[in-house]
Amino acid sequence: METVIRSRAHVARLNLDKAQTALLDGQAHDARALWNLLHEFFTFRQGKLASLKDCDTAIRQARKEIDWLTDLPAQAAQAVLKTYYQAWKNFWSPEHPAKRPKFKARGRARMSVDIPQGRDLQITRLNRRWGLVNLPKVGRVKFRWTKDLPGVTKAGPAGRITGARLVKTATVWDIVFRTETTVQAPAPHQGPKAGMDRGVNVPLALSTGEHLGHGPWLTDGESRRLLRLERKAARQRATAKKGTLRSERLTRTYDQIAKLRATAKRRAVDWQHQTTTALADRFSAVVVEDLRIANMMASASGTVEEPGTGVAQKRGLNRAIAGQAWGRTVEFLTYKAADRGGRISKVHPHGTSQECHRCTTITPGSRESQSRFACKNLRCGWIGNADTNAARNQLHRYNKAAGQVVTGCGDSPVGGSVKRQAPRSAARAAHAPRAAA
């Protein structure tokens, strides 16, 4: 059978002491500062953009003249240059609508260090729970062994590790291994197709009528503690003098908040991984709406001349949308479905929540509430869950585009364009017998 090379990433937690953590923090700050120096050299060079060769020469010269830049490994410095140039390519390319590269702020940029060469890692396994990895200018470091890595042990899959990236999450460091494995090309998935509607009250609703939900990411005690810490941080900011550096007490409070939020994110990612794996195993195609999530989360504050309305409500809705991480769910499902011979398809989202999946009409007032849909078309009258109705509309649009027969879960075939139905009062008047002249 045909074989393909599968590129994946594996995240593991590093077990660092205080000295090693300080070294990695310093390297991450050096990498951020090098990015800023490159950005200044690239964009403010007498009105002319610098070439890749000029940037490489400037880096080599800067490492000779600036002492603290030598704390960053040479390979990591070259990786910063490669990432910076790739950011400009993504900005210029019409296929990657990325934002223009800009300076990275110290307190906002994500701290990371790249190790582009896999041979520098020298990975060995200690026991069932721990492994050893070599980090340039840091030394041998233990990491949590949760999965067999390709090319490391005999029991592991065939392949190799091409490199790694060190990323700081809250107050701890993780290592992200870049792996390549040789696997057989997947056969086409033979399972059924399903539509999937993403929401806030119901995280995932399937066209089969199933609702996939989850509880809060933090326990009641953790939520209360997070609220106390956020109020404490607000008091500490209010009493701080303007123009002074952040106090150590406020820094510790921020670190405690970051730990709790990182815990919530890990639990959310774990639920998304388990849910998307089950969906990819079960369905041959999953149809979702092609949502512009960034546009949906735009602020409603408006301008000084024209202030917006319902700003607090919109802010709460934006937080709820961000908490569900709709884009990450689709991202996980995309590569998992491809590994199993399935696919993810996107359809236009216009009217999926107002259209009845059975009669394909949009009748005013059919969406009675957030969870209830009752078709006001007198010839239909379907009543059910609004999220399930939207998911079935997505599946119908996918089948219609593929030229397949679309049915409303056992009802008559659906085809043609969406029809807008008159209100119920007008429909009754149209079907009522005429009065005698």
146 and 39 co-located in one domain: yes
H or E segment and range at residue 163: strand 159-169
103 and 15 co-located in one domain: yes
H or E segment and range at residue 125: strand 124-125
Helix, coil or strand: residue 4 = strand
Whether residue 317 is contained in a domain is answered as no
- pLDDT at residue 429, as a whole number: 39
- pLDDT at residue 46, as a whole number: 60
Q: In this structure, are residues 407 and 349 in contact, taking their beta carbons and an 8 Å threshold? A: no
Residue type present at position 110? R
112 and 206 co-located in one domain: no
Token pair belonging to 208: 């089969």
CA distance 100 to 84: 11
- pLDDT at residue 196, as a whole number: 94
Domain tally, the chain: 3
- pLDDT at residue 281, as a whole number: 95
Q: In this structure, are residues 398 and 193 in contact, taking their beta carbons and an 8 Å threshold? A: yes
- pLDDT at residue 401, as a whole number: 83
Whether residue 304 is contained in a domain is answered as no
Helix, coil or strand: residue 229 = helix
- pLDDT at residue 74, as a whole number: 92
Alpha helix positions (H), 174-247: 220-239
* Among 184, 214, 243, residue at a domain's last position: 184
CA nearest 288: which of 330, 226, 258, 227?
330
Token pair belonging to 15: 């077990």
96 and 141 co-located in one domain: yes
DSSP state at residue 124: E
Q: In this structure, are residues 36 and 104 in contact, taking their beta carbons and an 8 Å threshold? A: yes
β-sheet bridge partners, residue 367:
373
289 and 406 co-located in one domain: no
Q: In this structure, are residues 359 and 380 in contact, taking their beta carbons and an 8 Å threshold? A: yes
Q: What is the pTM of this model?
A: 0.83
335 and 372 co-located in one domain: no
Backbone phi, psi, residue 387, to 5°:
-70, -40
Q: In this structure, are residues 388 and 205 in contact, taking their beta carbons and an 8 Å threshold? A: yes
- pLDDT at residue 403, as a whole number: 62
- pLDDT at residue 407, as a whole number: 41
- pLDDT at residue 362, as a whole number: 87
Whether residue 212 is contained in a domain is answered as yes
400 and 329 co-located in one domain: no
127 and 147 co-located in one domain: yes
- pLDDT at residue 47, as a whole number: 62
357 and 342 co-located in one domain: no
65 and 165 co-located in one domain: yes
- pLDDT at residue 351, as a whole number: 86
The sign of the torsion formed by the CA atoms of 158, 127, 15, 70 equals negative
376 and 359 co-located in one domain: yes
CA distance 107 to 102: 15
152 and 60 co-located in one domain: yes
- pLDDT at residue 25, as a whole number: 94
Low-confidence stretches of the chain (pLDDT beneath 70): 1, 45-47, 303-304, 403-437
Whether residue 312 is contained in a domain is answered as no
Residue-range definition of the domain harbouring residue 381: 350-429
* Among 124, 150, 184, residue at a domain's last position: 184
